[in-house]
Structure 1
């Protein structure tokens, strides 16, 4: 293990990680966050203390968990298939934090059990299948007095951190609008394997792009531009038949594309297209264009480009003549000016500091409930064909 602080005081935080056999739970949360923190010697909090995360891999498929543990040198004692036993353990075997990256249908019950056991909770989103369940978790956590957080990884992406820098610095003047494009073509699974699990396309299993992506758009818009006050959405299933992991055809019952218009506090209008049935003709898989009275920016996962009012060219519409320049070349790149670590890891570090040092942490289960609320209202708006108000949530 490289980077260990040999003379530091170690504060071990044992984390029950449920769902690490899934793509996101394994790659981003276990490997690129918790194990990466350990590889770098823990989180140095600056007073001679190091926060040391100790993962316990929880799930139903013991053989898969053992394989992961062996691959990363964790040992068989770091594997458990009985969540209740893990939550009930005390002493050196007791856990401090319960983390959930399971499918959405299983999340609410598991988090409820962790809260009842008095464990701090950190979880993927959506936190529940409906707003009532998400609010219930937030109230349970508040009543129990535990610390709780929800993964909101997009605001930790380098491109969006540069965008927030522009917002905070007043670059845009009065912000007028936000336009987002997200998505890519997910293979149907017949002659090329699908790069997303089949449950994503079955509503009965908690799938659908609205429930997956609208919680992301809620916190991105909320954190950068203002609270979402209304939503009008159209959700649809463009590809009605797909093939599962066993090569068997199935009917897609969940939406694979959604087109949303959101009005924000302060009058900003946001339009975001989300699709697993679109081929990419942009620089990154997600891009947001922000237009303001003093300037505009386009931010993706990593890059951010700007065009200030003082440097805006004068386009002239003339369809009879070919364009003599590339519009993309008229924008200026925003410099990094700092190193940006993996966004999932960055948020893990903040949450662990919250648990150990009681440092402030804003992205709690109530914030997660706002994301569930927006997804629920987005689906309702699509079904009813009308714009809906988004009530402000409180406990």
Structure 2
């Protein structure tokens, strides 16, 4: 076995011995001894490493101190003011003010439909040899009126007959009657409307007594969505939990597709491009084909899960939600509380397409509708509230031309 010898190393290259061993007069033996001296570059590297480590320690301690100070200052700043670092809230645009300054609304003369209404005053029904068919009547499936008429309702989607909506308004309670949907068994914040004695009759399909009624069946006083008040911003006199029947008059003579399309009163929109001379040439069926109304009944709730953003365009048609799927078609007249079973409307015959079902809709949907109405060129402020409802029309004033088939639109 060979013994391993460890030679001591002279660690200080500045030592005189190391300097002399590494001098110019070194011999092989002194050169061997010089190998025991640490190289100068090695010493410098070690010194540099030590300096670097010291610097890193210093900067680490300094950085940690600065971090602690920063966190402390941030905490103090947050406790004193939480809004300094928050972005400024977006400023809402007041479009009502914008409308007031817009050149689109600068002149009333720009509304080409203003004053276009053709005047046909109400008449006593008894004075008419053959009164025109009236609305709103019973639209329960299976019901048929007893007034014999020679026209049929337009059962196509109105846009397929070149008609467009020219107005939207609504009535307190339902003017039409649909058994099991809006009838005498419905309810609301203020109860229901008393039924007239004459309204009891047998239904062809239901087999039960039908009586007048004006409220839907959804209202539940124990459910907060029917009783929690809503802060109305644009509609007037509306109430959560109430039933309203919405009407969208349509006309082929409206200013369709223009800024003047929507009008109040709706007669201006219906007759916008139709004067008396042209109107006098139309047959009853021509009128029923070219003028119509969508009708849909709602109970208002304070619940955003029932929000619909665009009630301006007409009846809501949604197969998934079951809206606008079960439609009653018949010819009738204009409605409102100035007409009754004694006082007949002379705006007849026009087509009615009415949804037989009652639907829930959010209060915000109506308020959005009222906002959209306020943005039209014509002043629609007279339609921002519910109008009075006509009493249920008697059988002998209701047309016998109800479309009996269930028409589903896709």
Which protein is bigger by CA-based radius of gyration? 2
For the superposition of Structure 1 and Structure 2, which TM-score range results when normalised by the shorter chain? Answer: under 0.3
- Structure with a larger share of its residues in helix: 1
- Structure with a larger share of its residues in strand: 1
Task: Give the TM-score of the pair, scaled to structure 1.
Answer: 0.22
**Larger RCO, structures 1/2 (Cα 8 Å, 6+ apart):** 2
Task: Give the TM-score of the pair, scaled to structure 2.
Answer: 0.21
